[in-house]
Amino acid sequence: MVMTRTHAPDAEALAAAGRLLSWCVGGVTPGPAALAASGLLGLTVPARFGGPQCSVTTLAEVHRLLAASAPHLALLLHGHSLFLRALAEQGSPEQQRRLFAEALTGTCFAGVGAGFGGRADHTAWPDHTARAGAPGPAGPMPLTLCRRRNGVYRLDGESPCAAGVPQAGRLVVRAVLVDELAEETDEPDEVLAVIGRDDLGVSSTAPSTAPSTALAMASSRVSPASEEDGGVLRFDGVRVAAADVVPYSTLFDRPTTFGARERATRAALDPHLPPDDLRELALAVDLAEPPPREDLVGRT
C-alpha cells in the first residue's frame, strides 16, 4: 500500500494504523514489512513530493496507538519519521526526490545510533554536540564516517539497535564525520549515513536475553518501547556514497521544530502519558510549523 497525498490524510493515517494493529492480532509477523504494507512509512512525506504530509498531531497519535500493542513498530516508525524530517530540512533536492520516493513505495529507513532507541540508547536528538555512539557502560565502538582524500566515505563502529532494525531495507546511521581534508575541531560534525542492510561490511548479533547494565541504570527514564532489543549492528569499512550522506549537526544552526517533533513522538511511546497531554504537545508543534505551500506541490 502507498500512502499519497489525499483530501483526508490524517483520517487515512489513523485507519492505516488500525489495520496494522489488526494484522498483528491476526498473526502477521510484525516488522518493517508490516509497516510497509500498512502505508504508514509515507506518512510524513511532504505534499510537494506526492506524500500526505500528515500533521504532527496525527503522527503522535499513530505512534501512541502502535506503542500500546506493538511498541517495536512504534519505535521503528519513530526513527523513520525523524529521518524523513531531517531529509526535508537538510537533504539536497536530489536526495529528497529519491529518498522520499523510496519511503512512499514502502522502504523503511531504520535508525541506528544515538537518538534512535534501542538498548543503551538514552541520547535525545537535540543534543547534537554529543559524540554519536559514544562508549557507554557496554563500551561500543563510536560510529564514524571517514571521508578519505579520494572522496570515498567509510563507515565504522557498532551500536545497539531497536527490534526490527536489522530487517529494515535501509539503515540510517547517525555518525561523527571524520574528514581527512579538514582541520579537527572541538565540536565534531555529525551526519546521517544511509546504507543498505546487506551492504558489504554490515553485520549483526542476536539480541541479548539478559537486561543490559545501561538499561537497568536508566530504566526509570525510558519508555517500554525503547527497551525493545534488536541486538548490535556492526559496521566494518562500509562504503557510503556521497549522495547518501545527509548533514545533521547544521540542522540546529537555524530555527527548527525538529527537536520538538522528536519530543512529541517520543512522548507518544510512553503508555503512561494521558492522550490529552500528548495531543496538546503535538498540536503546539503543528502551530509552530508553517503550512505547506501549495505553489510548491508537485515540484521537485
Confidence of residue 28 (pLDDT cuts 50, 70, 90): low
When pLDDT is averaged across residues 86-114 and rounded to a whole number, the result is: 95
Concatenated DSSP letters of 63-99: HHHHHHH-HHHHHHHHHHHHHHHHHHHH--HHHHHHH
pLDDT at residue 131, as a whole number: 36
Residue 202 has pLDDT above 70, yes or no: yes
Tell me the domain boundaries of the chain.
9-296
As given in the structure block, the three cell numbers for residue 139 are 563500551
Confidence of residue 155 (pLDDT cuts 50, 70, 90): very high
CATH superfamily label, 9-296: Butyryl-CoA Dehydrogenase, subunit A, domain 2 (2.40.110.10)
When pLDDT is averaged across residues 221-249 and rounded to a whole number, the result is: 79
Confidence of residue 141 (pLDDT cuts 50, 70, 90): confident
Q: For residues 99 and 116, what is the distance between their CA atoms, to the nearest angstrom?
A: 19
Describe the crossing of helices 71-90 and 56-69 by its angle, rounded to 10 degrees. 150
Mean of all residue pLDDT scores within the chain:
80
Concatenated DSSP letters of 89-122: HH--HHHHHHHHHHHHTT--EEEESTTS-STT--
Confidence of residue 289 (pLDDT cuts 50, 70, 90): confident
Give residue-wise pLDDT tens across range 169-199. Answer: 899 999 999 877 666 655 568 999 999 999 9
